[in-house]
Structure 1
Amino acid sequence: MNPKLMIDAPELFHIRASYTDDTIRVYQAYSDLIGKSALAANRFVSPPFKMDRMTWIKPSFLWMMYRAGWGLKDSGQNVILAIDIKREGFEWALAHACLSRADDGMPHETWQRLKDSAPVRIQWDPERDLLLRPQASRSIQIGLSKDAVARYVNDWIVGISDITPLAQQIHGLIEANDLPGAKALLPLERVYQPQTSIGMALAATA
C-alpha cells in the first residue's frame, strides 16, 4: 500500500496505545445523543449511530484530545469515549487497510483498486504533546467502513467508558499551569506490536 511510508524513520510510525493481552483501547468523541446511548447499552446503537458512515478510531489519548478540544470544541464531540476492543478485531482492521490517500507516485487506478477493496483506511497524523502541539512522531487513525463497522459494533467492543471527566480534569490542570499533575493523569500508552500480518498501509519495506 505504501512501501515508502516508514522506510526513512520507522520509529516515528509506531502504534502507541493502552492495551492488555486481550484488548486495546481506542477513543472516539460524539454528541450527547450518540455518546450517552452507547454508554447505556455498552455498544453503539443505530440510530442514532450511523452504520453506513465511516467511523474513525484513535488509539492515542492526546490525539483524541486535540481532535475534540478536550471535549470543549463543539457539541458533536463533547462526550469522549474510551472503547476497549478485542485485539483480534484491531488486528483484522490493520490487515484489511489501505492508506487514506494515495502515496506519491502511485497511479490513480492502483489507488482506486486498493480503496475499493479495503474496508479500512489508515491515516498517520502528527502526535500531540500535553499542550496539543504537533510532534515528530506520528499517531495512527483507523477509519472503519462497510463490514468493518458492523464487526466493530457487533463483535469487537468489550466495553465503553466515559472519559469526559478525566479529559476535563487534565485540561483544568493544564489551564492552572500544573503540567506535572496533568501528566500524571495521562493513560499509559506503550508501543503496540501487531501479532498478525498487516495491511499494506503499514508496510515498512517494498
Structure 2
Amino acid sequence: MIPERQIRASYTDTTIRIYQAYSDAIADAALKHGRFVSPPFSMNRMTWIKPSFLWMMYRAGWGDKDDGQRRILAIDITHDGFNWALEHSCPSERPHGLDDEGWRRLKDASPVRIQWDPERDLHFVPLPHRAIQIGLSGEAVRRYVQVWITGITDVTTLAHDIGADVKAGALDVARAKLPIERPYQAATVA
C-alpha cells in the first residue's frame, strides 16, 4: 500500500526528473539553451515543479489544456538541488496553530512551498495517496535555473500518445508507456 504522502519519481544516482508545462516560447528557449531563459521565462514568479508524470498530465490535460501548457518538459535536476528545495520549504497552507505573524515569518524565510495534492490515475480520477508539488520562488528559482538543471527533454509527444491511448481505451498500452516512478528518499518535507 502506498503511504498517503510519499515522493515518487523517476531518478538516477545523480538526478531526479520533474515535469513542467509551458508555452512554445518558453519551451523552445529552454530546449535551445539547456536551461530556462528570461525572458520568456519569468525569474520573478513562483514556478511549480512536479515529480509525478500523471499529476502533470492532469494539470496540463495531456498537453491539450491551453497554449500556456501545451509543451510538457521533463527536467532532470540534481539530488542536491531537489533536497535543498525540500529543506528550505514550508507548506503552501498555514500550519494549524500558527498565528498570522508566525505564518508571515515562515513564508518570508522559505523560498519554497510544498503542496500535497491527490495523485491521479490515467482518467485523472483522484487516488487516495498524494503527489508532491514544489513551488520555487526567489533564491530557489535562481538555483533551479542556474545550478540544478542537468538536462531538459520535450516529452509532449509522449504525453499526446498516452492521452490518445487512454481516450481509445487502450489502458494497458498507456500504462506501459508511463515513466517508472519509484519512492524517493528525501530530506525532511514540509
TM-score (norm 1): 0.90
Q: What is the Cα deviation at residue 40 of structure 1?
A: 1.0
Matches within 5 A, 1:63-74: 63-74=55-66
44, 49, 58: which is aligned to 2:50? 58
Using the TM superposition, give the Cα deviation of residue 130 of structure 1 relative to its aligned residue in structure 2, in angstroms: 1.0
Residue of structure 1 equivalent to 2:153: 161
- The yes-or-no answer on 1:30 pairing with 2:22 is yes
* Counterpart Cα distance in 2 of 1:110 and 1:14: 27
After superposition, residues 35-184 of structure 1 pair within 5 angstroms as 35-184=27-176
Which residue identity is paired with 2:158?
L
CA distance in 2, matches of 1:127, 1:41: 32
The aligned runs of 1:185-204 (5 Å cut-off) are 185-194=177-186, 196=187, 198-199=188-189, 201=190
Aligned residues: 190
Aligned equivalents of 1:94 and 1:46: distance in 2?
24
Tell me which amino acid in the other structure corresponds to 2:73.
Answer: L
- In 2, the alpha carbon distance for the partners of 1:88 and 1:104 equals 30
Distance, in Å, in 2 between the alignment partners of 1:177 and 1:42 is 36
Give the stretch that moved more between structures: 169-178 or 106-115: 106-115
Is there any run of 5+ residues in structure 2 with no aligned partner, and where? none
Shift in Å, 1:104: 2.9
Aligned Cα root-mean-square deviation (Å): 1.3
Structure 2 length-normalised TM: 0.97
Deviation at 1:109, TM superposition (A): 1.7
